[in-house]
Structure 1
Amino acid sequence: MANTYSQVHLHFIFAPKFRHALIGATWETSLYKYITGIVQARQHKMIAINGMSDHLHMLVGFRTTQSIGDFMQDVKADSSQWINVNRFCGSRFEWQAGYGVFSYSKSQVPNVISYIQTQKEHHRKVTFREEYLSFLEKFEVEYDERYVFKSPE
């Protein structure tokens, strides 16, 4: 839309189904590049991406032309298809159904970038579950812990 201006910085956190540690060290950088391409193809801006074998963080300069739900569906569907076509996992790869998304002001962006870039160091001290629950509490997101992490059926 003409004359529509925005500055939206969104931090996404999502994981493979059942939080299994499926993202391999040998192909994680390729995954990050592929996801960056998905983000850019939808006219958003990838600011930072990194993660661990069991989850991923993205900081995105988000344009208001797409809904957050549609965006995450695109990212997850396209990237899981790419992982499966390239047979990076021994079995079918799927992302967990849900995700976390948190907004930040421009002044907070450098700290969020640093946080995302230092995931490997951060997770020497804190588990993904502890990290995720701390985000929900910090941002005062109401949740039912029974449904935060879907267990294998």
Structure 2
Amino acid sequence: MSWTSIWVHMVFSTKYRTPFLNDSIRKRVFYHMKENAEKKDIWLDVVNGYHDHAHCLFVLGRDQTLANVARLIKGESSCWINQNKLTREKFSWQDDYWAVGVSETHIARVRQYILNQEAHHRKKTFEEEIDRFNKKYGWQQLKD
């Protein structure tokens, strides 16, 4: 039997960074994402975010790809949001996402960072957060 332990921190935003995820629906959406991931055998350790984006910390299973996990998490959740009419306009996630591998020694710190998104974004915008990721990992700025 094969064993893997590949932790991933993935970030994705709403289409056009529209602030759909207001306080009244954000927790419901993230709770649903976690429940749905479990049904699809995705170990989604923690999910949280702010008005216009989400952070996920998950473990890739031995038969899973990053692209497939992203598709399953994002696609199903946007469908669920629209079916339940949680937003006035049609909801969708932006096609892009940012993802990095996480060392097992940093899991607790990344988990805490994700859980503290509301406090974090009282000080920094999502754009500032993404700029920091882009600089830290040497990525070129992605445009909408």
Band of TM-score, shorter chain: over 0.9
Counterparts in 2 of 1:149 and 1:64: CA distance versus 1, 3 Å: farther
Quote the Cα distance in structure 1 between the aligned partners of 2:128 and 2:15. 18
Question: TM-score with structure 1 length normalisation?
Answer: 0.89
Is the 8 Å Cα contact of residues 18 and 149 (structure 1) preserved in structure 2?
no
- Partner in structure 2 of residue 101 of structure 1: 99
2:120 is matched with which residue?
A: 122
Show the 5 A alignment for 1:16-95: 16-95=14-93
Q: Is the 8 A contact 1:9 1:62 kept in 2?
A: yes
Uncovered stretches (5+) of structure 1, i.e. residues with no partner: none
- CA deviation after TM superposition for structure 1 residue 26, in Å: 1.2
Aligned partner of residue 112 in structure 2, secondary structure: helix
What amino acid does structure 2 have at the position aligned with 1:17?
A: K
CA contact (8 A) 2:34 2:46 kept: no
- After TM superposition, what 4+ stretches of structure 1 lie above 4 angstroms from structure 2? none
Question: In the alignment, does 2:143 pair up with 1:149?
Answer: yes
Q: What CA deviation, in whole Å up to 9, does each residue of 1:11-36 have, x standing for no partner? A: 01011100110012112111111111
8 A contact 1:32–1:49 mirrored in 2? yes
TM-score, normalised to structure 2's length? 0.94
- The AA in structure 2 aligned to 1:80 is S
Residues 21-76 of structure 1: CA distance to partner in whole angstroms, max 9, x if unpaired? 00121121111111112221232212111110111111112213121111111111
- Quick one: percent identity of the two aligned structures? 26
Gaps of 5+ in 2: none
Structure 1 CA distance for aligned equivalents of residues 127 and 95 of structure 2: 16
CA RMSD of aligned residues (A): 1.2
Using the TM superposition, give the Cα deviation of residue 149 of structure 1 relative to its aligned residue in structure 2, in angstroms.
Answer: 3.2
Alignment: residue pair count: 144
Deviation of residue 125 (structure 1)?
1.4
Hey, what's the Cα distance between the residues in 2 that align with 1:63 and 1:139? 24
Do residues 110 (structure 1) and 111 (structure 2) align? no
